[in-house]
Amino acid sequence: MIFTDWNTIEYQQAWQQQTTLFEHLIAAKIAGQSTHELETIVLCEHPHVYTLGKSGKANNMLVSEAFLKRVNASFVKVDRGGDITYHGPGQIVGYPILDLENHGYGIKEYVSRLEEVMIHLLNSYHIHAKRLQGATGVWLDADSPKARKICAIGIKASRYVTMHGFALNVNTNLDCFTYINPCGFVNKGVTSMAKELGHPIDIEEVKRQLKDSLSLFLNKK
């Protein structure tokens, strides 16, 4: 798989750039061309931004736009699935632009494989993560009152071509989640790798391991 790192990039600029890649891949597919060489996985970080998915509820944003401006954050409505979430420094955001028909599975399994990628990665750091039934993403203590999300997932797909993706909290400032009901939940928490391990994490090392895990789990038969 081809990986590219956009480093720190404004959310809307990244959205425009990945949309271009997404539409280019779809156009090639419609024309009957091979799409293998057009697939890419983007990794990046964003300045402070809150994004609301097409099925989300605006009242899950708990503060005003004026307040967001005062804390140098923005608010964007997007065309992915899922509700509201936060992106910011210390969080790895991934945008896989893939033709799932090249890999032999559908959208539901794709989401499951993204979750598997994160579970495998986090286990390598001795963070025991798992799925929570009925809720997309990756969680810790999923079946207990202490359930807390460490990775959010929200995608868009057309003709089995994907965009948007995942957000893994590595060194994320978790206070930023207090301004929302994360992913629409009012009774579940949010965490990060740094919080769970008690110290900052080398985010570049996490990216390297993440690339390995993505290549392994998205390509396996």
Q: Give the residue numbers marked as catalytic.
A: 183
Q: Which amino acid is residue 104, in one-letter code? A: G
**Distance of alpha carbon 129 from alpha carbon 117, whole angstroms:** 11
**Residue of 166, 171, 157 whose CA lies nearest to 217:** 166
CA 104, 151, 66, 178 torsion-angle sign: positive
Q: Is 52 helix (H, G, I), strand (E, B) or coil?
A: strand
**Distance of alpha carbon 79 from alpha carbon 119, whole angstroms:** 26
Tokens of 127: 């963070």
Place of tokens 């632009």: 97
Q: Say which residues have a Cβ less than 8 Å from residue 175's Cβ, sequence separation at least 6.
A: none
**Distance of alpha carbon 205 from alpha carbon 203, whole angstroms:** 5
**Distance of alpha carbon 131 from alpha carbon 116, whole angstroms:** 9
